[in-house]
Structure 1
Amino acid sequence: MAHIYVYSPSGAVRDRAAFRRGIKRLQTMGHEVEVDPDALAAWQRFAGDDATRLAAIERAAASGADVALITRGGYGLSRLLPQLPWRALARAAERGTRWVGFSDFTVLQLGLLARGQTVTWAGPALCEGFGASDAADAAEGHGAVKAGGPDEIMLACFDDVVSGASEGTGWRLPARDVATLAGRPAHLARHAPLWGGNLAMVQSLLATPWWPEVKGGVLFLEEVGEHPYRVERMLLQLLHAGVLARQKAILLGQFTDYRLNGHDRGYTLAKVVEQLRSQLKVPVLTGLPFGHAPTKVLLPVGAEVDLLVEGREALVLWGHMH
């Protein structure tokens, strides 16, 4: 199968049981797993100090692996942006290494996109994806961890990427989304660059050297632990900067782990989306199965995609990149 290099470019791994489960599951799937020597390093909240994590990224780029997989997100890559080995990262991708990750990893992916046409994959991390606890783990005394195991859709998408068979993804749209598309052609975008990731990380790159000036693209966004008003504030910055209006479509993934309170009085994420649509001519679609949730498709950041809607089915297709 595949040679997978596991490394830690961001936050320290605190759940070592999930780390071990993730490694074991990848091996059970038939993959050769190489673990970076500092994958379990810890310094403050990070997986080692800045120099340690930079060295780990450089080793991942030099590994010749089919997949370079992060252990987890968290925070840390923003500190490294000026020192990242951009040429080595791009060369590794050209040689066939698929860089896979999400959340904090967004800044590395968009930084590569800003420097050229390097394609990376927005997808799972080792611990939260492959290290998810299942019924067998619960039976062995690990029941404190939710026992569901790795998501089957995520696993299937990962297999497709590893085998080179990944051609697209789709999901069922809410009825309100379909109603907003009345009068639009089925093809919302043709050969448009797909880009995006974690909303806070995307926003953080505005007006920096690592910001990709994408026009006519399909922008996908997700977030975790942010109240709807914070989500709206970040979206408004992208709106006021002209970023959203320059896209062919906006795809909103999963926005998870936040709590409303009595002060909100009906102000929900749905209201945020409604407000955004009122200020944009660009179509905004919701429900993309991507984000801080078990069910997660893999998306080729930087690839040209087609986006079409057939009834209530939304399809993002990139098979032509093969």
Structure 2
Amino acid sequence: MHRRQFLGGALGASLLPWMAGSSPAFAAVRGRLRPPPLQPGDTVGLVSPSSATDDSFSLQLAREAMEALGFKVRTGEHYGARWGHLAGTDAQRAGDLNAMFADRQVRAIVCVRGGSGAARLLPLLDYDAIRRDPKVLLGYSDITALHCAIQARTGLVTFHGPIGSGSWNRFNVDQFRRLFLERQLMEYRNAADPGDELVQRSNRTITLRGGKARGELVGGNLSVLVALAGSSYLPAFDGRILFLEDVAEAPYRIDRMFSTLKLMGALDRIAGFVFGQCTDCDPGDGYGSLTLEQILDDYIRPLRIPAYRGAMIGHIREQFILPVGGMVELDADAGTLRMLEPVFTG
């Protein structure tokens, strides 16, 4: 699940036109497009848009999980392929995605895993086909590239949550059934379990600045999102609720990426902010490091918007399934996100 996006000099060059005001910073908002709801017995497509799966047993587990949830399964032609570290060539992986969106019998698309490589597909996707037959898309981590591009180009609400080969534990299954099958207006609140502690220590949310804010959700994996800077595949940030998470990134890289978000104007446009988990993001050896807390203090607190950290979002076993592009209310004092509108048609 570990992936790392390195930003080079090209990123800095791509930001110059924005800062000079000669081109729009973010893709134009097209308005929300909602997928139809899921029903037991629907067909779910399994695709691998990013890294290859190193064990075919993971592919079997992904199929069995979807079947156990009550769905028929259709697999992408190349979902078990390999091209270097990727699950097939760009054309193969994009072709599988386009085929699933074009297939009228497929009602949801679940990404088998993340890793890296999804951004390579963005110019190859058939956005007209996605608009013609909108459907559920589920995944996280590197799948952030797909969430961002599809939101920017079509306005379709997609879903940031467990991958097919990941853990379908009780918490994740409950989230899935309540959201997709019962179509509840979800409230996302961290599970309370102090264990043998007098007060709960782990899985806590921490308020950065109190208050409430409403807006459409945008975000996902910090590294993947920032790597889209300067492209037409990054959605608008104006009035949005930004959520972020990451894995295996040293604090100095987290700081650099927040600096990019600040310089490109994204942070000054948002209405609220949620940071999930930064797994394996501890400082390395050397002269010391900024902490994640200090980084958020530097970039988020001065915005004077409702914000909190510690949400169950990210590379963790139990995670929220969030509607990217859905309208939500953030309560930074309570540490919650609450859906305000249905995210499915009908």
Give me the TM-score of the superposition, normalised by structure 1: 0.83
How far apart, in 2, do the equivalents of 1:176 and 1:9 lie? Answer: 34
Q: Decide which of 34, 39, 47 is 2:74's aligned counterpart.
A: 34
Question: Is 1:231 the equivalent of 2:247?
Answer: no
Question: Is 1:66 the equivalent of 2:66?
Answer: no
Name 1:135's counterpart in structure 2: none
How far apart, in 2, do the equivalents of 1:312 and 1:169 lie? Answer: 11
- 2:326 and 2:339 in contact (8 A); partners too: no
Q: How many residue pairs get matched?
A: 291
Distance 1:229 1:316, change over 3 A: farther
The residue type paired with residue 277 of structure 2 is Q
How far the C-alpha of 1:261 sits from its partner, in A, is 2.9
How far apart, in 2, do the equivalents of 1:121 and 1:318 lie? Answer: 16
How far the C-alpha of 1:29 sits from its partner, in A, is 2.8
How far apart, in 1, do the equivalents of 2:133 and 2:280 lie? Answer: 35
Question: Is 1:82 the equivalent of 2:105?
Answer: no
How far apart, in 1, do the equivalents of 2:55 and 2:173 lie? Answer: 21
Q: Percent identity?
A: 28
Where do 1:1-322 residues align within 5 Å?
A: 1=40, 2-64=42-104, 65-93=106-134, 97-129=135-167, 150-172=168-190, 174=204, 176-177=206-207, 180-181=209-210, 184=211, 188-190=212-214, 192-263=215-286, 265=288, 267-309=290-332, 312-321=334-343
- 2:138 and 2:163 in contact (8 A); partners too: yes
How far the C-alpha of 1:160 sits from its partner, in A, is 2.3
Distance 1:201 1:48, change over 3 A: same
- 2:205 and 2:308 in contact (8 A); partners too: no
Q: What's the secondary structure of 1:58's corresponding residue?
A: helix
State the Cα RMSD in Å. Answer: 2.1
Q: Which moved more, 1:157-166 or 1:36-45?
A: 157-166
Q: What's the secondary structure of 2:166's corresponding residue?
A: helix
- 1:245 and 1:282 in contact (8 A); partners too: no
How far apart, in 2, do the equivalents of 1:124 and 1:113 lie? Answer: 19
- 1:193 and 1:214 in contact (8 A); partners too: no
How far the C-alpha of 1:222 sits from its partner, in A, is 0.8
- 1:307 and 1:317 in contact (8 A); partners too: no
How far apart, in 2, do the equivalents of 1:25 and 1:270 lie? Answer: 37
- 2:250 and 2:284 in contact (8 A); partners too: no
Q: What's the secondary structure of 1:128's corresponding residue?
A: coil
The residue type paired with residue 280 of structure 1 is L
- 1:171 and 1:287 in contact (8 A); partners too: no
Name 2:29's counterpart in structure 1: none
Distance 1:28 1:211, change over 3 A: closer
Distance 1:176 1:256, change over 3 A: closer
Q: Which has the higher helix share?
A: 1
Q: RCO greater where, 1 or 2, for CA within 8 Å and sep 6 or more?
A: 2
How far apart, in 1, do the equivalents of 2:267 and 2:222 lie? Answer: 12
How far apart, in 2, do the equivalents of 1:120 and 1:175 lie? Answer: 25
- 1:166 and 1:319 in contact (8 A); partners too: no
Q: Which moved more, 1:66-75 or 1:254-263?
A: 254-263
